[in-house]
Amino acid sequence: MTHLRLNKYLSECGIASRRKAEELIVQGRIQINGKTVTDLSVRVDPNNDMVRFDGDIIKTARKVYFLLNKPKGVITSTKDEKNRKTVVDLIATHEAIFPIGRLDFNTTGTLLLTNDGDFANLLMHPRNKIPREYSVILDRELSEEDKFKLLKGIYIENRKSKFNTISFPKKNNFKSVSVTTEEGRNHFVKNIFSALGYTVKSLHRERYGDFNASRMKFGEYIQLREKDIHKFISMIK
């Protein structure tokens, strides 16, 4: 193995995605051979350098992939400063895994967890346009005018934002909405509805790309096979 950029090495050790790993480096939480590093351009020799994260020695790990139906009341993080239960606590594995993207505390549904930073980046990078499908319950009926606006696009956070599709799965119930989007920004679904004066009462992610956990019970998970992951990756590239 040749010298690797530090953020790539951290992702291969299952610490975080490359983007999140850069935050850890800047925060001074990484040490190489006893010295704290904050320079993002630093490279690592996996065979000879001793790398620590928060004082613990880290090494590259076998890649694992989990599909979880996230329940309410669980933090989408690897740990919580308030000692609340996290999605990682729900998975029985010896590997250090992290969630791909975020679901809010009371948002339920499909969530992927892994220690493969490259796979996480592949899913989250905007250029790959991975669709997410959500079931939404609103505080009032979605009007045809606002449906048109959400499909055409409105500006939130100074960026044009839209849903790819909007449908009503329950006949004559326009508070219950199914939407798809390629956006991965935090709170995106809630924020875009809020911009038009709607409040999201319930939010459930049905699928992320081809991955769907909605048929499992809340809190249940399965370990995905590597060949299925590779098949999905080959469809994107």
Considering Cα of 33, then 27, then 85, then 178, what sign does the dihedral take? negative
Orientation angle between helical segments 117-124 and 18-26, nearest 10 degrees: 110
Burial class of residue 109 in the structure, from the number of CB atoms within 10 Å of its CB (0-12 exposed, 13-18 middle, 19+ buried): buried
Q: Is 104 a catalytic residue?
A: yes
Structure tokens at 6: 């530090």
Residue 174 carries which side chain, given as an amino acid letter? F
3-state SS class at 236 = helix
Selected catalytic residue, list 104, 139, 210, 228? 104
The Cα 77–Cα 98 span in angstroms is 7
Catalytic center residues = 104
